[in-house]
């Protein structure tokens, strides 16, 4: 495992902060090793009789992994090469193209290390989903709910990692009405491919509960949902699956990510990943 320290960046930092959260340390889960993470590591090293230097090397990683056997549930839910090959065969796609999308458009993993699906709760979507169910979102808005219920998008209240489940639970608990829980689950993106819960009906799931249960099973089920999503959603007259078959990376990225794909260079990243996998 890569050695990390204060100001390190990358997916390894996300994993580290996720593990620290599970172990009870209050750190913001992102891809940046900030001051909060540095102080948490110093405390962890001191509590576990390690050299207290703030460096997360082999010994500190080993001790982190040892705690509560963290990766047992996580490791049993990962995609295999055969899963991606089966997906490619089912949709008539090239395997390198599927691998490119899996590496660029997914979050890199579909589950937290505690075995729960990765989610991101969107308070502005919750506002909209409540209205769809005939409820006045404004009636539920107050100082206690403002972190999970707001009219316009903001990243201000994101917590990342397991913290998003705390936000989801807080949203569910604003009322005993079943419609509120239904709206809350529909307002999170689920799994590696970040499929929003409110798509459940269009994707053929009987209820939001069925969709959520499937997303919690395995990354394979998250890939199934992604396949349904790109085969049903159209952009410029074609499904996203067709754009992927043609390897038109710009149209696929635009249709999947919206106009912000250019700023994030998703098309260029997809093209580069495809070439890399094709030449393996």
Q: Are 249 and 96 in contact (CB under 8 A)?
A: no
Residue labelled with tokens 């491919």: 193
pLDDT for res 206: 94
> Tens-digit pLDDT profile for the chain (280 aa)?
689 999 998 878 888 998 898 888 989 888 889 999 999 999 999 999 999 999 999 899 988 888 756 666 666 788 999 999 999 999 999 999 999 999 998 877 899 888 889 999 999 999 999 999 999 999 999 999 999 999 999 999 999 888 999 999 999 999 999 999 999 999 999 999 999 999 999 999 999 999 999 999 999 999 999 999 999 999 999 999 999 999 999 999 999 999 999 999 999 999 999 999 999 8
Cα distance between the two ends of the chain = 24
pLDDT for res 114: 80
User: d(Cα 93, Cα 179) in Å, to the nearest integer?
Assistant: 39
The CATH number assigned to the domain with range 11-70 reads 1.10.101.10
User: d(Cα 73, Cα 85) in Å, to the nearest integer?
Assistant: 24
Q: Are 192 and 118 in contact (CB under 8 A)?
A: yes
Q: Are 84 and 154 in contact (CB under 8 A)?
A: no
User: pTM score, two decimals?
Assistant: 0.78
Cα–Cα distances in angstroms (integers) from residue 221 to residues 27, 213, 236, in the given order: 30, 10, 28
pLDDT for res 72: 60
Report helix angle 123-132 to 178-186, nearest 10. 130
Cα–Cα distances in angstroms (integers) from residue 33 to residues 21, 47, 109, in the given order: 13, 20, 19
């Amino acid at each position: 495992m890569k050695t990390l320290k204060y100001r390190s960046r990358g997916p390894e930092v996300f994993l580290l902060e996720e593990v620290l959260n599970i172990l009870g340390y209050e750190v913001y889960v992102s891809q940046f090793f900030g001051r909060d993470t540095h102080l948490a590591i110093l405390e962890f090293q001191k509590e576990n009789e390690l050299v207290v230097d703030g460096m997360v090397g082999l010994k500190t990683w080993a001790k982190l992994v040892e705690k509560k056997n963290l990766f047992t549930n996580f490791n049993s839910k990962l995609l295999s090469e055969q899963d991606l090959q089966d997906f490619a065969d089912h949709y008539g796609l090239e395997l390198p193209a599927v691998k490119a999308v899996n590496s660029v458009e997914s979050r890199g993993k579909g589950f937290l290390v505690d075995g729960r699906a990765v989610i991101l709760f969107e308070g502005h979507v919750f506002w909209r989903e409540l209205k769809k169910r005939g409820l006045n979102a404004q009636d539920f808005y107050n100082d206690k709910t403002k972190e999970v219920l707001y009219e316009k998008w903001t990243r201000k209240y994101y917590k990342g990692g397991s913290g998003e489940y705390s936000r989801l639970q807080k949203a569910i608990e604003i009322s005993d009405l079943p419609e509120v829980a239904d709206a809350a689950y529909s307002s999170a993106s689920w799994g590696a491919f970040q499929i929003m819960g409110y798509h459940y009906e269009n994707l053929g799931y009987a209820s939001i509960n069925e969709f959520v249960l499937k997303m919690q099973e395995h990354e394979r089920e998250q890939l199934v949902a992604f396949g349904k999503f790109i085969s049903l959603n159209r952009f410029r007259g074609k499904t996203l699956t067709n754009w992927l078959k043609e390897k038109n990376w710009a149209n696929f990225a635009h249709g999947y990510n919206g106009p912000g794909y250019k700023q994030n260079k998703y098309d260029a990243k997809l093209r580069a990943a495809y070439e890399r996998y094709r030449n393996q």
